[in-house]
Amino acid sequence: MKKINVKSSRHPYSIWVGKGVSGMAGKALKSLGFEGKVFILTQRKPAKHHLAKVVRSLKAAGYPGVAYEVPDGEKAKSLEVLRGVYAALLAKGFERRDLLLALGGGVVGDLGGFAAATYLRGIKFVNAGTTLLAQVDSSIGGKTGINLAEGKNLAGAFYPPSLVLSDTQVLETLPEPELRASYAEVVKYGMIRDRQLFALLERENERALLRSPRILEDVVTRSAGIKAGVVSRDEFETRGERMILNYGHTFGHGFEKVSGYRMFHGDAVSLGMACAARLAVRMGMLDPFVELRQLAVLRKLGLPVLLERKRFDAARVVGAMMHDKKKSAGKLRFVLPESIGSVTVRQDIPLSLVKDVIREMGAR
């Protein structure tokens, strides 16, 4: 088991990574000196596979626990479901000294984190991510939120968890397509900050997809470590550094939006990174050989790198990108690779070039 430390303006916290750490939840809370009740927010699938183990661990440590299931999928991230979570917390007598533990993927973590951030102006929060995506990305850094009718993550808060539990064993029950798509974010960490992680994926992509425990622990630990470093230095996305985590995401959000969110986030990020590398080559910033190495590793991990012509129209994608909240003062920001392990942020890319690149990658 590995521990990674994260700083935040409120308090530091640890990420525990390893096989079986969700069964150490009770022990971990004891080590934090926590005394109170635990509200476990979860969804059907993570509840089925992992709830019993967590409850057993809490019980063994003497913590009373209550489990609350929210509806499947992204639709749980709504004001209506949030209101139901508040009502359940109130009905069960939860007070400011108590704790909410999110057991599930990014949806559960985002909703649970926002509920914890805002119930009685904030109760303690533990994020136990049960997907590779949650473990390498969304469970770290305090971003919480829900969707509104107008779009995704439009209401939320930066709220640091007190603890992150990333049990790599739970990844054994993760559906194949979800596992595969999640590796896009891991490739991202390699490209933005970690040549060794990138090389590991080039070398071990087969065993990564076969869920070798050693590789999974390595991948999660390295990815979480990079994200922990970035968010410790730029908690509120105000200093620019956190922006590099959006590598592949400016394009990616455009693809997700145009698809009506009917694609994996990871697939959108993979396509986005392919476009970003293409753009960097076109700007003369990147060696074309590096673009090819990135394409190769994405393909070997089963990730898409070409846009389906009938699905994506370049002008519509750019329009969707312009609506994304991460644009600053109406300008699109792109995170572009300079080499493996190093990126830079650019705000001066002509939209016509952006459109060209999207077309070169297959769109009409």
- List contacts with a second copy (CB under 8 A): 9-10, 79, 83, 86-87, 90, 95-97, 114, 117-122, 143-145, 148-151, 153-158, 236-237, 325, 327-329
3-state SS, residue 344: strand
Q: What minimum distance in Å lies between the beta carbon of 159 and a second copy?
A: 8
- Nearer to a second copy by Cβ, of 9 and 352: the residue is 9
Which residues, in sequence order, are bridge partners of residue 104? 129
CA distance 313 to 363: 6
- Nearer to a second copy by Cβ, of 144 and 205: the residue is 144
Catalytic residue (choose from 53, 143, 152, 180): 143
Whether 77 is catalytic is: no
Q: What minimum distance in Å lies between the beta carbon of 117 and a second copy?
A: 6
3-state SS, residue 121: coil
Catalytic residue (choose from 37, 50, 180, 253): 253
- Nearer to a second copy by Cβ, of 155 and 209: the residue is 155
Closest CA to 125 of 174, 169, 85: 85
Catalytic residue (choose from 53, 127, 152, 185): 185
Whether 7 is catalytic is: no
CA distance 107 to 318: 26
- Nearer to a second copy by Cβ, of 93 and 284: the residue is 93
- Nearer to a second copy by Cβ, of 13 and 264: the residue is 13
Burial of residue 283, with CB atoms counted within 10 A of its CB: 0-12 exposed, 13-18 middle, 19 or more buried: middle
Whether 50 is catalytic is: no
Whether 185 is catalytic is: yes
Whether 35 is catalytic is: no
Catalytic residue (choose from 188, 193, 246, 333): 246
Cβ proximity of 155 and 148 under 8 Å: yes
CA distance 247 to 280: 12
CA distance 136 to 133: 5
Whether 121 is catalytic is: yes
Whether 246 is catalytic is: yes
Q: What minimum distance in Å lies between the beta carbon of 310 and a second copy?
A: 31
CA distance 95 to 120: 7
- Nearer to a second copy by Cβ, of 144 and 169: the residue is 144
CA distance 306 to 35: 52
For residue 154, the surrounding DSSP H or E stretch is strand 151-158
Catalytic residue (choose from 121, 150, 262, 310): 121
Q: What minimum distance in Å lies between the beta carbon of 155 and a second copy?
A: 5
Q: What minimum distance in Å lies between the beta carbon of 330 and a second copy?
A: 8
Residues 356, 259, 144, 324: is their CA dihedral positive or negative? positive
Catalytic residue (choose from 188, 222, 257, 265): 265
CA distance 124 to 117: 8
- Nearer to a second copy by Cβ, of 309 and 331: the residue is 331
CA distance 205 to 28: 32
Q: What minimum distance in Å lies between the beta carbon of 153 and a second copy?
A: 8
Q: What minimum distance in Å lies between the beta carbon of 212 and a second copy?
A: 36
Cβ proximity of 336 and 343 under 8 Å: yes
Catalytic residue (choose from 227, 257, 278, 333): 227
Whether 265 is catalytic is: yes
Closest CA to 218 of 195, 193, 201: 201
Q: Which residues are catalytic?
A: 121, 143, 185, 227, 237, 242, 246, 249, 253, 265
